[in-house]
Amino acid sequence: MSAREFYVGYLSMPPRLRWTVRGLVLLLLALVALDAWLVASMQPAAGKGTWADAPQEYAGTLTRRPYPMLRVKTQAGIKTYLLVSDEKRGAEAALGVTPDGPVKLSGFPITRSGLGMIELAANDVAVISETAAIEEPAREVHGTVTLEGEIVDSKCWLGVMRPGEGHLHKACASLCIRGGIPPMFVTRGRGSDVPALMLLTQADGSAVPPELIIPFVADAVRVTGTIEKRGDLWVLKADLSTLARIK
């Protein structure tokens, strides 16, 4: 090796060594970029849910069966919105003693996969006594099936958290459902005739007690139930005695 190629820390780097170091640095940067891409590609999809940062006014019919929701007349027909409060609380925290029937309220819209939700913006909900209530839609029974999927909390899954599913979201989903957020069932490997997302109720159509499903939230599970369509809302009336993890 000639004297020009010998590296001394306080002298300029020899040309051949300089190009070798540059090549190694570029290779290292390429490997870091590849590693970042691989890590990102293995993450679950964040979903396409949206959560508006400004409240909107709504007028419609309030019902609490099986969970608080608002039916609103639109140009396209009757639209159903699930109702929740702020943070990890169900709608009752904001609805208080407001009776079922025509109301006006303000809230932040949350939407995903055609399903709508309103996070109530205030504790006061105005009753519209002079307005006729919107009738509950007819129920269409689509048969009993056994499905595989995941129980999620509707607020996070629809757009407040992205992604709002999977084991990393288990603690958050459990707190939300325990706080009164309606649970939903996201189907996996379903047939074309089974909806991707359904509101989860008990077999009799009533709200699910949180303690019955908290241990199964965010896990891969199997359950048998009846699929029912109520206007624009799909419901899975589940036989919770059949609920089991998929090993």
* pLDDT reported for residue 13: 77
Residue 42, classed as helix, strand or coil, is coil
Same fold, 50-127 and 139-245: yes
Q: Is the pLDDT of residue 225 over 80?
A: yes
**Of all residues in the chain, what percent carry a pLDDT higher than 90?**
68
The CATH architecture assigned to 139-245 reads Beta Barrel (2.40)
pLDDT tens per residue across span 159-214: 888 777 888 899 999 999 999 999 999 998 766 678 899 999 999 999 999 999 99
Looking at CATH, the fold of the domain delimited by 50-127 is given as OB fold (Dihydrolipoamide Acetyltransferase, E2P) (2.40.50)
Distances from the Cα of 200 to the Cα of 8, 31, 96, 114, 218, angstroms = 71, 45, 23, 17, 14
Residues near 85 by beta carbon (within 8 Å), at least 6 away in sequence: 91, 92, 93, 94, 119, 120, 180
Residue 157, classed as helix, strand or coil, is helix
Task: Report the C-alpha gap between 226 and 145 in whole angstroms.
Answer: 6
CA atoms in the 13 A half-sphere facing the CB of 129:
0
Number of H helices and E strands in the chain, helices first, is: 5, 12
The domain spans of the chain are 50-127, 139-245
pLDDT tens per residue across span 105-158: 999 999 998 899 999 987 778 999 888 999 999 999 999 999 999 999 999 999
pTM for the predicted model, two decimal places: 0.81
pLDDT tens per residue across span 22-77: 899 999 999 999 998 887 776 656 567 789 989 999 999 999 999 999 999 999 89
pLDDT tens per residue across span 4-20: 566 677 777 777 788 88
Residue 62, classed as helix, strand or coil, is strand
Question: Where do we find the tokens 């913006």?
Answer: 121
* pLDDT reported for residue 8: 72
Contact 47, 162 (CB under 8 A): yes
Output the average pLDDT for the chain.
90
